[in-house]
Structure 1
Amino acid sequence: MRFSHQEETLEEVLEVVTDQSERNLMVYNDDFNTFEHVINTLIKVCKHNPTQAEQCTYIIHYKGKCSVKQGTYEKLKPMRNSIREAGIDAKIV
């Protein structure tokens, strides 16, 4: 079965729109990273101000996780990688 040019273009547009959907960068609690380390990492990697980073860190501690940034997968991937390199568990969901 052969698709028409218009159908192929529509399919490509749908793929691009799907890839651009908003996602969340989630950071998870652990028993070995200090508050100070997590706060400094969020300031450095996510460009949080100190108050925002501290609030996210308390949410991570008490709720087990926190969405620290929203954006496309492509935007969040380098941040996730940097947070992981700092020894903190993070996932894009």
Structure 2
Amino acid sequence: MHQFSNSSKFSNNLFGEFYSNTETEVLEEVDTKTEEGHRLIVFNDEINTFDHVIDTLVEVCQHSEPQAEQCTWIIHFKGKCSVKEGSWNDLVPMRNAICERGISAEVD
């Protein structure tokens, strides 16, 4: 059986875990939701056509045709899709433009 002296830089506790006797620096807690951490979510409805949603995502969100089509299928089958990530200030005008075209969207 090994004995650890308290004069050592490291000691072990009851569970055999080692810890340091030196001062510990306290790290500042940081909010993990960054300025870029918002999402633009588009919702499914029974009114808008696939082509209208695809065209809107291409024009408003600068999606490629295949990307817009994939998002539209996700919207159709899952009821919603996060179509863009970014800052609140960048996404709100996009949401407004999408909503002006009769498509439901929100920024979270």
Report if TM-score (shorter chain) is over 0.5: yes
For 1:88, what is the secondary structure of its paired residue? Answer: coil
* Aligned position for 1:38: 53
Q: Tell me how far apart the structure 1 counterparts of residues 83 and 59 of structure 2 sit (CA, whole Å).
A: 12
Contact 1:19/1:73 (8 A) holds in 2: no
Greater share of helix: 1
Identity of aligned residues (%): 55
Aligned length: 78
1:57 partner letter? T
Q: Tell me how far apart the structure 2 counterparts of residues 21 and 63 of structure 1 sit (CA, whole Å).
A: 25
Q: Higher relative CO (CA 8 A, sep ≥ 6), structure 1 or 2?
A: 1
* Aligned position for 2:42: 27
Please identify the structure whose Cα radius of gyration is greater: 2
Ranges in structure 1 where 5+ consecutive residues have no aligned partner: 1-13
Tell me which stretches of 4 or more aligned residues in structure 1 moved more than 4 Å: none
Contact 2:36/2:85 (8 A) holds in 1: no
* Aligned position for 1:69: 84
